[in-house]
Structure 1
Amino acid sequence: MEQTETLLALFSRERVPLNQTELSLTLSISEPTVKQRMGEIYRKFSASFPELDNHQGAGKSRILHTKLKQKYYQPSQPVVAPYPEEFISIIEEKIRRFCGRQFVFETFQQFITDNPHGYFTIVGDAGMGKSSIVAKYVSEHKSPCYFNIVVERRNRPELFLKSIRRQLIDRYELLKSEDADLPKLLATVAGKLTAGERLVIAIDALDEVEQEAGENLLHLPITLPNNVYFLLTRRPFNLGQRRLAVSPGVPVKDLDLRDEKYMNFNQDDIKEYIRFFINTDPDYKDRLRNWIQTHSIADTTFVEQVANKSENNFMYLRYVLPAIANGYYNDLDLKQLPDGLQEYYQSHWVRMKMESKPGQLMEIVLYILLEIGTAIPCEMIAGIAKVDECDVAQVLEDEWVEYLKKQNLDGEICYTIYHASFLDFLKCKREMDSKRKIFKEVNQRIAEYLEKGMA
């Protein structure tokens, strides 16, 4: 105990140990007693630090101080959240059943290895897993990130810059950067990177960005400092919509998931995803296996045929496999499953009797969510539809639950359309169904509700 007390007193100053006289005064003991205690301390630590035995005369306390600090002291670091709070739910949901895509990560890593900086874009149709790839990369590398989400109105340049600025300031302790633009932020961060360190900023769904034409999407810089990379995703653009101009010499690479050379990789990943559902997924594996056995189908046949029906679309599987497990296809064989995501949406639309009973509450609720375009509570939907809130809750929680995203906003449960592909499906219905006047009626009810709220 006496030696421990002496050692703690010796290093009570962080940078320079106390000398023997200072220790004597601090501990109220004689200097010979201090010398005797320190001799025992040096003897015990010499097994770990032989330098103490080899050093003669004064200065042993400094050697011990240096060695202990090197071995045990870790300076406090600011606690930085792995990714912004507003994206935690989407990242966790996207990586929950993540499978495969190793060829994408390997190609991106090779791009980083081969280039001092640059833009790498993953291109693919809705439902091909682009957002999941970004979420997986961010979860593993803790990269700064931004997810453009049109149904949440989280898709404007100023919101992107605000989020990325805050992430970079917190991560790299940037001073006086609250108003800095993106090129200045990147230059400052690049100056702080250590040897071998790189900054990768991941941005999902450039095609969902709402911005006036004439500038790079999200005002992404045309030049990049060394060791700074962007990992981007988007749906296919035509040439006039690309809107990512860079200076000559800035490396740019697109990986198009639809490319024929990735066909086998995509098929392998799709099959791995199906096998995960039937063998591992805690929510559906037992019921899926029961369906397979009841229909006397071999596992390999089930995987092959469902993979072919999916048309390499993970969103299709996200809907169809639970639908099979829940008994929606008990009276069908695999050949009768819908082909592709849009056909699945249409088959569900028919199954819910949306064609035979137009104008019913289920349809009105969906069109309200489509026209509002942002997350709203059940109470507001009921107010617009002019029906009982319990009836709307049943639609939200039962009939269309897998197509909607439920989130807690300021203590209130709100709903939006889950995926952009279903949003596209509903927009197509709006365009093809213009004769039925239901959209005019829905928009009129929305206007009346908002006017009443402002009165």
Structure 2
Amino acid sequence: MEQTETLLAALFSPEKAPRNQVELSLELRISEATVKQRLGMIYKKFGNTFPQLLDQNGAGKLDILFIKLKQKYYPKPDPLVAPYPEEFRSLIEEKIRRFCGRQFVFETFEQFMTENPHGYFTIVGDAGMGKSSIVAKYVWENQSPCYFNILVERRNRPELCLKSIRRQLIDRYQLPNSEDADLPTLLAQVAGKLTAGDRLVIAIDALDEVEQEPGGNLLHLPKNLPNHVYFLLTRRPYSLDKKRLLVDVPEKELDLRDEKYVNFNQEDIKEYIRFVINTDSDYKDGLKNWIQTRNVPDTTFVEEVANKSENNFMYLRYVLPAIANGDYNDLSLRQLPDGLQEYYQNHWVRMGIDAKPGQLMEIVLYILLEIATPIPCDMIAGIAKVDQCDVGKVLEDDWVEYLKKQNVEGEICYTIYHASFLDFLKAKREMDSRRRIFQEVNQRITEYLEQGMA
């Protein structure tokens, strides 16, 4: 009862910050030492539910408990506007569909916010390590304003990011006369509306894909931030001499490649594989059949594929469906490709592209690569000078798992799905730059565009 009394006095309102030990001592008419002892027992009891309490050293535990309990038992009412922009709805929903693990990332970010009044938190990792999925999951659960830079869709410029974030903040926080406001002004206005215990977290994915003229901060992000305002960012690794974001507030990087996260990454990868094998309605039957046909124990399959993935979720996104769909029926478990790049090369060879250069599936792929924006099937057919049905078969059969379909003004358009595959194709282009196929594709694009302008 004494602990309950102390907890209720400390967290007396979900709208106001918790009382400190001095205030509790006066409120309850007990010594500060007694308050500290009671709080220690409270933290210990809640430690199983919120492990971060046990990891936190020194001050800050009461703030963590306040935030965790508020999130769990006092959810905010549904906002009047959509929790995320319509332009990213399909991306977010696709990313979280098979999301597994990554709790260590969310806990580290939560600890950063607990320990700092404001700041920038950046998740660093190689292509395919799940950075975008982490952001999507955070946005989904916390309804945070967000922006996803997407190189293959040319949605990666500072003005587009600012326009989107501005609209989200105006709609969410009812900011009048702010249609032309810059980001620092918007953040200051929002900070003035935050109640005790509230934060503004803006999530921005793929800083490495931003296209911006030299000079100034990346995406023109502000060097200083108001209190209770945080940015959750992701990017691929780069050398220090190429750093484009300079800030005067606390900042922290969590590098997914760091050795201290190896075990966490491996367990998350294994959890993902187990989820697809046992739960995913699209692929579990095909995977079970492939595994049982080869008399491989599920645990062995999970361990072997996890090792081959090199802790890369994009590898699993491609390889597990390929196994389930029968693409690897002629291979044993040990013959599966090692790592994402080998998977791409393996698929390239199995489709016979190098053996028969210039075939339609290669032409279609290089048209998508050169155009680099979402385009419809009929435009691809026009450039390739072939029947639209033939192009449709290539898009829906040969390259379906590598392409993203989206509705653009009522028309289905296609782009290359992921930056890692784009990198693979560009490397192919650089190695084979003297092949006629590239000249032919660019010539056909030029002719098609000139006809449209005539």
* TM superposition score normalised by structure 2: 0.82
Q: How many Å apart are 1:238 and its aligned residue?
A: 1.3
3-state SS of the aligned residue for 2:144?
coil
User: Where does residue 67 of structure 1 map in the other structure?
Assistant: none
Aligned mates of 2:286, 2:354 — CA distance in 1: 30
Aligned mates of 1:201, 1:414 — CA distance in 2: 29
User: Where does residue 160 of structure 2 map in the other structure?
Assistant: 159
The alignment's C-alpha RMSD in Å is 1.0
| Superposed CA offset, 1:290-349 (max 9, x none) | 111100000100000000000000000000001111111112111111110011000000
Q: How many Å apart are 1:237 and its aligned residue?
A: 1.1
User: Where does residue 321 of structure 1 map in the other structure?
Assistant: 320
Q: From the CA coordinates, give the structure whose radius of gyration is larger.
A: 1
1:400-419 maps to which residues of 2 (within 5 A)? 400-419=399-418
User: Where does residue 421 of structure 2 map in the other structure?
Assistant: 422
User: Where does residue 205 of structure 2 map in the other structure?
Assistant: 204
User: Where does residue 179 of structure 1 map in the other structure?
Assistant: 180
| Superposed CA offset, 1:144-174 (max 9, x none) | 0000001111000000000000000000000
User: Where does residue 63 of structure 1 map in the other structure?
Assistant: none
Aligned mates of 1:91, 1:191 — CA distance in 2: 29
| Superposed CA offset, 1:342-400 (max 9, x none) | 11000000011011001111001000000000000000000000111010000000011
1:6-155 maps to which residues of 2 (within 5 A)? 79-155=80-156
3-state SS of the aligned residue for 1:434?
coil
User: Where does residue 257 of structure 1 map in the other structure?
Assistant: 256
Aligned mates of 1:261, 1:323 — CA distance in 2: 31
User: Where does residue 228 of structure 1 map in the other structure?
Assistant: 229
| Superposed CA offset, 1:425-448 (max 9, x none) | 110011001121211211111111
Aligned mates of 1:140, 1:77 — CA distance in 2: 12
3-state SS of the aligned residue for 2:134?
helix
User: Where does residue 11 of structure 2 map in the other structure?
Assistant: none
| Superposed CA offset, 1:74-112 (max 9, x none) | xx9972111000000000000000000000000000000
Amino acid at match of 1:90: L
| Superposed CA offset, 1:383-419 (max 9, x none) | 0001110100000000110000011111101000000
Amino acid at match of 2:160: L
Query: Which piece of structure 1 moves more, 111-120 or 209-218?
Result: 209-218
Aligned mates of 2:436, 2:334 — CA distance in 1: 37
User: Where does residue 268 of structure 2 map in the other structure?
Assistant: 269
Aligned mates of 2:339, 2:307 — CA distance in 1: 9
3-state SS of the aligned residue for 1:270?
helix
3-state SS of the aligned residue for 1:210?
coil
3-state SS of the aligned residue for 1:197?
coil
Q: How many Å apart are 1:246 and its aligned residue?
A: 0.8
Q: How many Å apart are 1:215 and its aligned residue?
A: 1.5
Q: How many Å apart are 1:241 and its aligned residue?
A: 2.1
Between the two proteins, what is the percent identity of the paired residues?
82
Aligned mates of 1:182, 1:362 — CA distance in 2: 44
User: Where does residue 220 of structure 2 map in the other structure?
Assistant: 219
Amino acid at match of 2:162: L
**Quick one: structure 1 residues 391 and 263, their matched pair in 2 at CA, closer, same or farther if it must change by over 3 Å?**
same
* TM superposition score normalised by structure 1: 0.82
| Superposed CA offset, 1:190-220 (max 9, x none) | 0110011000000000000000122111100
Amino acid at match of 1:126: A
Amino acid at match of 2:278: N
Aligned mates of 1:343, 1:437 — CA distance in 2: 25
Aligned mates of 2:329, 2:426 — CA distance in 1: 30
Aligned mates of 1:216, 1:442 — CA distance in 2: 37
User: Where does residue 363 of structure 1 map in the other structure?
Assistant: 362
User: Where does residue 188 of structure 1 map in the other structure?
Assistant: 189
User: Where does residue 311 of structure 1 map in the other structure?
Assistant: 310
Aligned mates of 1:257, 1:131 — CA distance in 2: 13
User: Where does residue 451 of structure 1 map in the other structure?
Assistant: 450
Amino acid at match of 2:405: K
Over 3 Å off, 4+ runs: none
Q: How many Å apart are 1:240 and its aligned residue?
A: 2.4
Aligned mates of 1:438, 1:220 — CA distance in 2: 41
Counting matched residue pairs gives 378
Aligned mates of 2:453, 2:327 — CA distance in 1: 44
Amino acid at match of 1:191: G
User: Where does residue 393 of structure 2 map in the other structure?
Assistant: 394
Aligned mates of 1:197, 1:295 — CA distance in 2: 54
Aligned mates of 1:201, 1:255 — CA distance in 2: 17
Aligned mates of 1:173, 1:290 — CA distance in 2: 54
3-state SS of the aligned residue for 1:262?
helix
| Superposed CA offset, 1:48-73 (max 9, x none) | xxxxxxxxxxxxxxxxxxxxxxxxxx
Aligned mates of 2:188, 2:288 — CA distance in 1: 54
Unpaired stretches in structure 2, ≥5 consecutive residues:
1-76
Aligned mates of 1:191, 1:389 — CA distance in 2: 56
User: Where does residue 23 of structure 2 map in the other structure?
Assistant: none
User: Where does residue 301 of structure 1 map in the other structure?
Assistant: 300
